[in-house]
């Protein structure tokens, strides 16, 4: 099968309902994420530099400091031999799922 043939498929009409459900659910998630962000911001503001917040003496929230170390690929490309960089690199393939507007792919 050619690449072009695999790239597009006509979905059954019942998929239209599923697409609409997905769109509505994503909108609901966005609203909930905004509420979560607002609540988190207020709680973090109340915590200030403290790590544990209590209500009536019982811990209800913890905001800990976490240190991470990451490889700066831009700097690595500048200083490492390309062969070493190639040896340390790995490639993976995944599929990205996105909704598109009707005229977006014509």
pLDDT beyond 90 at 13: yes
Q: Into how many domains does the chain fold?
A: 1
What is the distance between the alpha carbons of residues 14 and 96, in angstroms, rounded to a whole number?
22
Q: What domain range includes position 81?
A: 11-88
Instruction: Please report whether residue 103 resides in a domain.
Output: no
Residue 3 confidence (pLDDT) above 60: no
The verdict on residue 45 lying in a domain is yes
Residue-level pLDDT at 105: 66
Please indicate, yes or no, if residue 2 is contained in any of the structural domains: no
The answer to whether residue 3 is domain-embedded is no
pLDDT in tens, 36-95: 999 999 999 999 999 999 999 999 999 999 999 999 999 999 999 999 999 999 999 998
Q: Is residue 16 part of a domain?
A: yes
Domain assignment present for 83 = yes
Q: Is residue 4 part of a domain?
A: no
102 falls in which pLDDT band (50, 70, 90)?
confident
Is 78 within the bounds of a domain? yes
Structural element, H or E, at residue 79:
helix 73-79
């Amino acid at each position: 099968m050619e690449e072009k043939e695999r790239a597009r498929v006509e979905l059954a009409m019942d998929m239209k309902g599923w697409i609409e459900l997905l769109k509505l659910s994503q909108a609901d998630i966005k609203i909930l994420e905004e509420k979560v962000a607002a609540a988190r911001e207020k709680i973090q503001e109340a915590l200030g530099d403290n790590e544990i917040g209590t209500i009536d003496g019982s811990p209800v929230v913890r905001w800990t400091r976490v240190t991470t170390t990451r490889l700066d690929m831009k700097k690595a490309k500048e200083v490492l031999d390309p062969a070493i960089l190639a040896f340390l690199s790995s490639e993976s393939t995944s599929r990205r799922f996105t909704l598109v507007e009707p005229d977006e792919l014509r």
